[in-house]
Structure 1
Amino acid sequence: MRALTVLGRVHAEAVTLRARRRGRSGPAGGQAGLLELVVRERVVEAEDVVSLRLTAPAGGRLPGWQPGAHLLVVLPSGRQRHYSLCGDPTDRYTYRIAIRRLAAGGGGSVEIHDALPVGTTLRTAGPRNAFPFAAEPAVLFLAGGIGITPILPMVRQAARLGLDWRLIHLGRTRASLPFGDELAELGTRGGRFTVRADDEEGPPDCAELLRHAPAGGTVYCCGPAPMLAGVRAALDPSPARGLHFERFAPAPVVDGRAFGLRLRRSGLDLAVPADRPALDVLRDARPDTAYSCRQGFCGVCRVKVLAGEVEHRDLRLTADERAAGAMLVCVSRAAEGTRLELDL
Structure 2
Amino acid sequence: MTVHQAAPQGTAGPIGTAGTIGTVVREVVPVADGVVAVELVADDGGPLPRWEPGAHVDLLLGPDLVRQYSLCGDPDRPRSWWIAVLLRPDGGGGSRRVHALRPGDRVPVRGPRNAFRLHPAPHYVFVAGGIGITPIRPMLDAAGRAGAGWTLHYGGRSRSTMAFADELARHGPRVRLQPQDEHGPLDPDAILAAAPSGALVYCCGPAGLIDAMTERSAGSGTLHVERFTAAPGAGDGADTAFDVECRASGVTVRVPPGVSILDALEEAGGVIVNSSCREGVCGTCETGVLAGEPDHRDTVLDDAERASGEMMMVCVSRSRGPRLVLDI
TM-score by length of 2: 0.70
Is residue 138 from structure 1 mapped to residue 123 from structure 2 by the alignment?
yes
SS in 2 for 1:72: strand
Rounded Cα–Cα distance in structure 2 between residues aligned with 1:131 and 1:255: 21
- Mapped contact 2:206–2:228 kept (Cα < 8 A): yes
SS of the equivalent of 1:210 reads helix
> Which of 1 and 2 has higher RCO (CA within 8 Å, sep 6+)?
2
**What does residue 192 of structure 2 align with?**
210
The one of 133, 148, 154 equivalent to 1:169 is 154
Matches within 5 A, 1:1-344: 6-7=1-2, 30-113=16-99, 115-185=100-170, 187-188=171-172, 191-235=173-217, 242-254=222-234, 256=236, 291-292=276-277, 294-295=279-280, 297-299=283-285, 313=297, 328=315, 331=316
Partner residue in 2 for 1:18 = none
- Alpha-carbon distance in 1 for matches of 2:144, 2:318: 44
Q: Which runs of 5+ in 2 are unaligned?
A: 5-12, 240-257, 264-274, 287-294, 302-308, 320-328
**Structure (1/2) with the larger helix percentage:** 1
Conserved? CA contact 2:169–2:177, under 8 Å: no
Q: How many corresponding residue pairs?
A: 263
Report the CA distance between 1:256 and its aligned residue: 4.1
Mapped partners of 1:138, 1:258: distance in 2: 40
Partners of 1:207 and 1:235 within 8 A in 2? no
| 1:201 to partner: Cα distance | 1.6
Number of the residue aligned with 1:13: none
> CA offset at residue 293 of structure 1?
5.9
Instruction: For residue 7 of structure 1, report the CA deviation from its aligned partner.
Output: 4.9
C-alpha deviation, 1:234, in angstroms: 2.2
Q: Which runs of 5+ in 1 are unaligned?
A: 1-5, 10-26, 260-271, 273-277, 279-289, 301-310, 335-344
SS at structure 2 position matched to 1:75: strand
Q: Distance in 2 between matches of 1:85 and 1:100?
A: 14
The one-letter code of the counterpart of 2:27 is: E
**Distance change (3 Å), C-alpha of 1:257 and 1:33:** closer
Identity %: 41
SS of the residue corresponding to residue 40 of structure 2 reads strand
SS in 1 for 2:90: coil
How many angstroms apart in 2 are the aligned matches of 1:57 and 1:140?
Answer: 37
- Name which of structure 1's ranges 34-43 and 51-60 shifts more when overlaid on structure 2: 51-60
In the alignment, residue 152 of structure 1 is paired with which amino acid? R
Q: Is the 8 A contact 1:172 1:197 kept in 2?
A: yes
User: Residues of 1 paired with 2:52 and 2:14: CA distance?
Assistant: 23
Q: Is the 8 A contact 1:251 1:295 kept in 2?
A: no
- The residue identity in structure 2 corresponding to 1:138 is H
Change beyond 3 A, Cα 1:28–1:299: farther
Alignment check: 8 A CA contact 1:82 1:293 kept: no
Separation in structure 2 between the aligned mates of residue 251 and residue 70 of structure 1, nearest angstrom: 19
Letter in 2 for 1:133: L
Is this contact kept in 1: 2:234–2:297, CA < 8 A?
Answer: no
1:265 matched residue in structure 2:
none
Alignment CA distance shift 1:78-1:216 (3 Å) = same
Cα RMSD after superposing both structures: 3.5
* AA aligned opposite 1:250: A
Per-residue deviation, 1:62:
1.0
Distance 2:277 2:3 in 1: 16
| Structure 1 letter corresponding to 2:229 | A
So what's the TM-score if we normalise by structure 1? 0.67
CA contact 1:140–1:212 (8 Å) conserved in 2? no
Deviations 1:217-261 (A, max 9, x none): 111111111111111222369xx86111111222224464899xx
Q: Secondary structure at the match of 1:61?
A: coil
Distance 1:192 1:149 in 2: 17
CA offsets 1:179-222 (integer angstroms, 9 cap, x no match): 1132123x23xx10111111112222210122332222111111
Question: Which one-letter code corresponds to 2:199 in the other structure?
Answer: G
Offset of 1:136 from its aligned partner?
1.1
Aligned to 2:177, the other structure's residue is in SS state strand
